[in-house]
Chains A and B, each alone.
Chain A
């Protein structure tokens, strides 16, 4: 496996949550918020692709990918969609509230391995959040990569995350940004269609490309097919998987997918490791 290996020993902060104060809460869409969390103890430092377990005291824990590189003061950035009791509670926090954080957990995006080649980043829906740290890494180390394509899909224009950042990235001369939505009304002048359709028109050398794909599983499957059709090798396509992660340490087994434990062996996997498992209906 080319992604960073899971830690042999649990990271500090793996078992007991560290207290973090909500420094700010910013709306992204009607149901999605970005929390800036400042550490009250020793900071947790996740790498791009990893996740933390966020604990809404008295309600429960959820795994949420880091959506930005850690700030200089150790602050964490997490973008959360309110879809259940825990995420709804987290999204309803106010500045000053304290939540618990365990982590960091899981494998990372293969940004070192991708150096020297083209980088294609494909995100669907809230999937842009887990891959945003990889985009920033590539922008910060722009000379390390060839073409940089960021292809983003969402359900509607109002469901797009980080719109201002997408505009900023699109304004650069060294990044190709493609945005599409599944349907649109009103004055949307952008593209309408599914995100895999952006791939044939993107400028990259398939044989020298590393692709990072994150979004709903079916979207990742279609995207991987489109990348394969363009000639991107299967082992250079990476997907970020999601299952019902509880412990984050590979102990409880809730996130088992065949022989894999998503929290320990993932969430970032090479597509050739995941392709067969993603096609098993019973899993």
Chain B
């Protein structure tokens, strides 16, 4: 069974960090599990945590009056769930729910924010890596906005 230190070191988002930085990040982490259908966070709530999905699938949803909960993206194993912990006002923009039983590593974002303030090299690295996460999500969202199947020609 992998230790938290190993999981953090091997994750795509933290891979390549200095051992001391990895140890510091792993010190803010713990394993967690969510049952199928369980809500992980809710829009507007304080974003003090972020997650590394290890197994299962998590849906990011928005409640649309008249349509119910619309899934706008799923987060798969190896991917990061949540970046709102890093930027004011530190609140979630969407809901997150486990589509199936999910195992995650939960990181104390508030704790890490404090460590980033005290260690700017760590802060820069985390900002750079989460900027990449956000860019990926932005590109994904832009592609979705194209609605490529909406008016496509017939086969």
**Measuring CB to CB, which residues of chain A are less than 8 angstroms from any residue of chain B?**
62, 64-65, 67, 79-81, 83-84, 87, 124-127, 129-130, 153-155, 159, 182-186, 188-194, 196-197, 201, 214-216, 218-219, 222, 242
Q: Identify which of B57, B59, B99, B154 contacts A126 (C-beta below 8 A).
A: B154
Q: In this assembly, does B70 line the interface, its C-beta being within 8 Å of a C-beta of chain A?
A: yes
Interface residues of chain B, those whose CB is within 8 Å of chain A, are 57, 59, 67-74, 76, 99-100, 140, 143-144, 146-150, 152-155
When the two chains form their complex, are residues B69 and A83 in contact, meaning their CB atoms are under 8 A apart? Answer: no
Specify which of B57, B69, B140, B153 is in contact with A191 (CB 8 Å cutoff).
B57
The answer on a CB contact under 8 Å between B72 and A192 is yes
B149 touching A155, Cβ below 8 Å: yes
- The answer on a CB contact under 8 Å between A183 and B143 is no
Residue contact B149 to A185, C-beta cutoff 8 Å: no
Interface contact B71-A188, CB-CB below 8 Å: yes
Contact A155 B147 (CB under 8 A): yes
Q: Is the CB of A191 within 8 A of B154?
A: no
- What's the Cα separation between A187 and B136 when bound, in Å? 26
Residues of B within 8 A of A186 (CB): 68
Q: How far is the CA of A186 from the CA of B59 in the complex (A)?
A: 12
- Identify the closest chain B residue to A154 (Cβ): B149
Given contacts A64-B154, A81-B155, contact A184 B70 (CB under 8 A): yes
**What's the least CB distance linking A29 to chain B, in Å?**
11
Bound complex: CA A188 to CA B144 (Å): 18
Q: Which one, A81, A129, A194, contacts B140 given CB within 8 A?
A: A194
